[in-house]
């Protein structure tokens, strides 16, 4: 077996269809979804209803008919909050994504011998998005500004810090046992 033979070439339209299907299910539950371009990637945002955080999926689509070549990409799933960007003159009106956790990287791989390797990969992607959706619902809102709180580690132990820092400096100390 040569290096890279486990990688799966994903047709762009199949990946888009899968993510939009997930987005429509979220919309049925009162949330929303949107696509945006960020650098060489297309980014898929899921707004979780009633949550302080959202799910962001960084895809490998760059306008091509398929995802980028084997070994050059992975799809990343991350939970985070949105904050307004600021410049020297105040708010820019743009929103910036601030992760509340380290995202997970999903390699475009599938075992050999399965009938539909793309479907196998997409099932793993759906599972990762489901898990991130649950984590986004569990993110605590900041008691001062309502933005998402992220777990951090400081010299005095673990704490939750507002993702809109430095505008909001709210922290909530956590017991040391909560660090795991």
Owning domain of residue 81 = 12-139
Categorize the per-residue pLDDT at 46 as very low, low, confident or very high, splitting at 50, 70 and 90: very high
CA distance 109 to 73: 11
Residue 133 is assigned to a structural domain of this protein: yes
Residue 175 is assigned to a structural domain of this protein: yes
Residue 2 is assigned to a structural domain of this protein: no
**Helix-strand-coil split of the chain, %, nearest 5:** 25, 40, 40
Residue-wise pLDDT for 67-80, tens only, equals: 555 555 678 999 98
Between 165 and 33, whose confidence is greater?
A: 33
Same domain, 131 and 150: no
Residue 20 has pLDDT above 80, yes or no: yes
Same domain, 62 and 120: yes
Tell me how many domains the chain contains: 2
Residue 74 is assigned to a structural domain of this protein: yes
Same domain, 84 and 168: no
Same domain, 17 and 78: yes
Stretch 134-158: mean pLDDT: 86
Residue 110 is assigned to a structural domain of this protein: yes
Stretch 33-54: mean pLDDT: 86
pLDDT of res. 180? 47
User: Prior bond to 130 cis, omega within 30?
Assistant: no
Same domain, 34 and 114: yes
């Amino acid at each position: 077996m040569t290096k890279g033979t486990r990688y799966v070439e994903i047709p762009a339209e199949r990946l888009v269809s899968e993510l939009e299907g997930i987005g429509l299910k979220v919309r049925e539950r009162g949330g929303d979804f949107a696509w945006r371009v960020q650098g060489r990637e297309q980014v898929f945002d899921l707004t979780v209803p009633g949550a302080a955080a959202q799910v962001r999926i960084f895809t490998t689509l760059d306008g091509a008919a398929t995802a980028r070549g084997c070994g050059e990409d992975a799809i990343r799933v991350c939970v985070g909050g949105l904050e307004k960007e600021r410049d020297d003159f105040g708010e820019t009106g743009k929103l910036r994504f601030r992760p509340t956790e380290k995202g997970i990287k999903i390699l475009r791989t599938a075992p050999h011998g399965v009938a539909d390797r793309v479907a196998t990969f997409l099932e793993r992607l759906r599972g990762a998005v489901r898990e991130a959706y649950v984590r986004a619902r569990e993110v605590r809102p900041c008691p001062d500004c309502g933005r998402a709180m992220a777990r951090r580690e400081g010299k005095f132990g673990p704490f939750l810090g507002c993702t809109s820092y430095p505008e909001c400096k709210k922290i909530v100390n956590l017991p040391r046992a909560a660090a795991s």
